[in-house]
């Protein structure tokens, strides 16, 4: 896991490339404290920067940017390729010679042989750029499920890319202004939906896409999309298929030249990772969890019990309101883009870092793949209900307007807006998962842009803010549609992005074995009636090692006691926000979202 950055240009900034690259590299130093490097091509069309967190081949042979022996191809790479050994053997059989034990060199040689097609053979998490000195082209790619981030900005023939937005801004080339689409998307969903960012002009390369730059011209193309295709299969066959795919993924995610730990919350997903790790790995297993003084929030004892069950070396960090407050300044400084999440990953990553661990596994992704959220039951109900109400138009629209205008709670207001739109899975999902209603989001966006030249398109939700080209439509069931929305919206835009930034703030590589292309493709044909059964029954039945006392507990999300802390100990960080009486800010996550946005903007805008 590393930090990458680069500048591609024809004419504009060739004389100051060194200075810019040093600034960008410095902005990414936290992502790779073990090594750093800069490459500038002889014609000064391209400059790459890299900061390295050494996980595979800890020697100097893993230094980046890395080149082929003839100097034609250069790469800067962030991530891990879990099948690199298999790929290496295939390349060696074709006569390729290797000079390191890294996955980086495998990508480089694979691209040398196959060009853009190489991404279809890579299993893992990645964002990388490869420069071809002969063809004068740069190939930039991001992994299929969007685990690793990659942002870019283009003006004229110049394109800048980096692992974090802060590094692009460190080049001092982009002007700093809020993006209306990014801001609106953040307010509606609690995070910025890709390909937008909060900075106008900076975009996120979408998951499952690559980009090619040549002489200032840019071409972007999708190479993978989520695709659920239901096939006839028995429950026994489904359990076996899931079990085999999970074991395969866990084994691949433990490939490392340094010890690997596990984040253990005490829930089904992280406990499943520990259970399978105990089956596939020898020796000590390190696990890490967070506990609280407040009994109604504390699940630390449960995590300890799971650790005892599977004989792990367990470390718990008890977060109090005062300790959390001490961590807030560093947490706020670590934010690359605000969201309503991230603090939990930030805290548990700190304890893993302090314990000397450099790689951890997380159970993130289990709810999205196996139906662990309420959305899997509630969103299909909303769609069917909305479809029935559509038959009595315009009554449903009138009811919707009334609820949106006079609703007593944020959820009722969002429901009112849903009734005024076509009852699709996407509109129902947005209503159920929403933070602010669309009307509220427009008002707040206008508040932030009142002194800006940016004009707010209205209604902005019809301008493609939530369109996702990477997803196949016409899925077998409404539940499959919810699964792909959870994977591509909440998981990708919030959970994965926060996990990356907040773990890297502590120089920690976070891996997600349940967010694996091989796993998803292996189980994609299981009908939703089996795969998405309530309570994640398929996942549970595929892992009989899980103890009954864990399975018989009611599902609880992993939450911090934010409401209490914000109203008391953290009050000076989360003051009352003047947004008008018609916008309810009593709920902690609404107040948090505006306060975090303001803290971030103060840092960025200076």
Which residues are marked as active site? 2
- SS3 labels along 252-279: HHCCCCCCEEEECCCCHHHHHHHHHHHH
Whose tokens are 């209900």? That residue is 385
Sign of the CA dihedral with 327 first, then 332, 333, and 338 last: positive
The answer to whether the beta carbons of residues 482 and 459 sit under 8 Å apart is: no
DSSP character at residue 178: B
Nearest 5°: the CA angle 147, 597, 23 is: 65
End-to-end CA distance of the chain: 29
How many whole angstroms separate alpha carbon 307 and alpha carbon 271?
9
| Count of Cβ atoms closer than 10 Å to residue 355 Cβ | 14
**Contact partners, residue 110, CB within 8 Å, separation at least 6:** 87, 91, 118, 121, 122
Cβ-contact 500, 149 below 8 angstroms: yes
- In three state form, how does the secondary structure of 315-364 look? EEEEECHHHHHHHHHHHHHHCCCCCCCCHHHHHHHHHHHHCCCCEEECCC
The helix/strand/coil state of 285 is coil
Q: CA 280, CA 141: separation in Å to the nearest integer?
A: 31
Tokens of 140: 């930039």
In whole angstroms, what is the distance from residue 334 CA to residue 506 CA?
9
The pair of three-digit structure tokens given for residue 455, joined into one six-digit string: 């004009």
Question: What's the chain's Rg over C-alpha atoms?
Answer: 24
For the record, the structure tokens of 41 come out as: 């091509």
| H or E element in which residue 151 lies | strand 151-155
Place of tokens 């070396």: 313
Tokens 């289990």, residue located = 366
Tokens of 100: 């390191």
- Alpha-carbon span 107 to 311, nearest angstrom: 37
Token look-up 């992280």 returns 270
Spatial contact of 268 and 274, defined as CB atoms under 8 Å apart = no
């Amino acid at each position: 896991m590393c930090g990458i950055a680069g500048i591609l240009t024809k004419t504009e900034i060739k004389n100051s490339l060194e200075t810019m690259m040093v600034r960008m590299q410095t902005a990414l130093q936290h992502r790779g404290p073990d090594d750093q490097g800069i490459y500038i091509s002889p014609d000064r069309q391209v400059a790459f920067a890299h900061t390295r967190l050494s996980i595979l081949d800890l020697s100097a042979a893993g230094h980046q940017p890395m080149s082929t022996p003839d100097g034609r191809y250069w790469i800067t790479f962030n991530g891990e390729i879990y099948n690199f050994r298999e790929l290496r053997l295939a390349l060696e059989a074709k006569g390729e010679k290797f000079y390191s034990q890294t996955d980086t060199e495998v990508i480089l040689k694979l691209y040398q042989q196959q060009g853009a097609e190489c991404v279809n053979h890579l299993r893992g998490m990645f964002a990388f750029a490869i420069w071809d000195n002969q063809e004068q082209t740069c190939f930039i790619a991001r992994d299929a499920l969007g685990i690793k981030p990659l942002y870019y900005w283009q003006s004229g023939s110049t394109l800048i890319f980096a692992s974090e937005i802060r590094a692009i801004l460190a080049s001092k080339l982009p002007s700093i202004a809020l993006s209306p689409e990014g801001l609106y998307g953040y307010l509606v969903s609690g995070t910025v939906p890709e390909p937008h960012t909060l900075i106008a002009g900076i975009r996120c390369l979408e998951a499952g896409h690559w980009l090619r730059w040549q002489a200032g011209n840019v071409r972007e193309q999708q190479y993978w999309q989520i695709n659920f295709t239901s096939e006839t299969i028995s429950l026994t066959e489904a359990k076996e298929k899931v079990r085999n795919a999970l074991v395969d993924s866990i084994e691949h995610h433990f490939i490392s030249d340094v010890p690997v730990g596990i984040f253990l919350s005490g829930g089904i997903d992280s406990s499943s990772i520990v259970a399978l790790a105990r089956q596939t790995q020898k020796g000590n297993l390190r696990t890490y969890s967070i506990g609280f003084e407040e009994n109604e929030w504390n699940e630390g004892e449960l995590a300890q019990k799971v650790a005892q069950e599977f004989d792990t070396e367990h470390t718990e960090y008890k977060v109090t309101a005062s300790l959390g407050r001490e961590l807030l300044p560093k947490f706020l400084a670590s934010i690359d883009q605000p969201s309503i999440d991230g603090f939990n990953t930030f805290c548990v990553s700190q304890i893993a870092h302090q314990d000397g661990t450099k790689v951890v596994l997380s159970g993130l992704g289990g709810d999205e793949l196996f139906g662990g959220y309420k959305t899997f039951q509630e969103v299909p109900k909303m769609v069917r209900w909305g479809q029935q109400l559509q038959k009595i138009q315009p009554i449903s629209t009138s009811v919707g307007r009334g609820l949106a205008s006079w609703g007593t709670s944020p959820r009722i207001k969002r429901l009112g807006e849903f009734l005024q739109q076509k009852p699709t899975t996407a509109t129902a999902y947005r209503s159920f998962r929403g933070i602010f209603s669309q009307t509220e989001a427009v008002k707040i966006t206008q508040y932030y842009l009142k002194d800006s030249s940016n004009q707010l398109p209205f209604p902005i939700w019809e301008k493609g803010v939530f369109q996702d080209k990477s997803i196949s439509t016409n899925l077998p069931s409404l539940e499959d549609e919810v699964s792909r929305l959870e994977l591509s919206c909440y998981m990708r835009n919030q959970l994965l992005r926060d996990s990356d930034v907040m773990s890297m703030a502590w120089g920690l590589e976070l891996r997600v074995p349940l967010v694996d292309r091989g796993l998803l493709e292996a189980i994609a044909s299981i009908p939703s009636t089996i795969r998405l059964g309530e309570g994640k029954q398929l996942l549970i039945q595929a892992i009989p090692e899980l103890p009954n006392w864990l399975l018989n507990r009611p599902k609880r999300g992993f939450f911090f006691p934010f409401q209490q802390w914000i109203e008391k100990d953290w009050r000076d960080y989360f003051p009352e926000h003047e947004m008008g009486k018609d916008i309810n800010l009593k709920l902690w996550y609404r107040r948090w979202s505006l306060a975090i946005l303001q803290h971030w903007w103060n840092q960025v805008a200076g």
